[in-house]
Structure formats: structure tokens, C-alpha cells
Copies of this chain bind each other. A is one copy, B any other.
Amino acid sequence: MKELKERILREGKNLGNGILKVDGFINHQVDPTLMDACGRELARRFKDVGATKVLTAEISGIAPALMTAMHLGLPVVYARKHKPITMPDQVYLTLAPSHTKGRTVELIISPEYLAGGERVLIIDDFLASGATILGLVRLAEAAGAVVVGIGTLIEKAFEGGREALKPLGVPVESLACITRMEGNEILFAD
């Protein structure tokens, strides 16, 4: 998506070790107009997969997932990293290693909001190693739901996430696919 790629080129910063700083418009400060456009585009790409629910992980997945869900007219569930007191004792929980955090995080969903037979579209801000997304896939499967698509804003193609998701056999879409980051240079797939 042209608008997102241009913004990454203009404001994104390669911090080294595969870390792309986009916290001026995606994951600390958010540009709602850009996020709305990204949500609309992801909704367009997944309009025919028959999704019944959008699933993401807190924190930075919330904004793109909310906008995508709005344009699809679907509810969105965000997996929590800490169990709040409003959640029942029996939950779906999985562990996912976080590259940017350097540790393992919990992903927790209440069975109240993910039921067997649901068709789940997973949306997140980044597709890097795919570890967080595979955690969401495990939660969906634990609930007896089916994953029907995976969409992200930014893919870091050099971290192998797309290969890790391939066995799922579902469409994987990213709005900006980065093939290389070297110094100040950020290269996209097309």
C-alpha cells in the first residue's frame, strides 16, 4: 500500500537488529487516518474469506485490527498478556516468544469470546518471525475455531514469518513488505 510505504520511508527508522521504529504513526503515536486506510485495505483483501471474527494481540495489534474489523462489520478480540479480574478462571492461554521484548509473553483469550466453528481473521501490526501470530493460531485452534486469513501492516520478509505460516494454507497479506534494511535504507518487495 503506497501510503503506508511512503510513511515508512519518510518516518521509519532502522534501529538495527531487525528493529524498525514506527512509533510515530503505528505503535505509540498513531495516525488514525492512516490506520483507517490500512484497515479498509485489509478488509478489502479479506472480504471473501467468510470471517466471523477478527483476532489480534494487545497492544500494537489493536489499532489495525479495530479498523479492519470496523470495515468488515465484525467484532474484534484482542488476546490479553495478563489475565484481568473480569476474565473467568478457565481461559485459553499460550506462550509466544517476543523478539522485541527478549522474553516469552502469555497470550490469553476468554472462551466467552471465541467459540468453536468461528472463522477467524488474524490481524497484527508486524509479521516478523510469525511467533505471535502462531500463538494466536494455537488459541483459535484450542477454541475449535478455524483461521481463514492473516493480515499485517508491515512484513519483515527477512525474518521468515511467511514460511512459518505457510503450513496453515491460508492467505497471508501484508501492506508493506520489507525485504532489506541496511543503515538508513529500507527496501520493499515491489
Contacts and interface: CB of A to CB of B under 8 A. Distances in A.
Contact of A86 (B19, B36, B74): B19
Copies in the complex: 2
Contact of A110 (B23, B32, B35, B77): B23
Interface of A is mostly: mixed
A189 to B, nearest CB: 23
Given A28-B87, A59-B58, A62-B63, A73 B15 contact: no
A101 B87 CA distance: 12
Contacts of A62: 59, 62-63, 66
Nearest to A17: B85
Contacts of A101: 84
A75 interface: yes
A59 B82 CA distance: 11
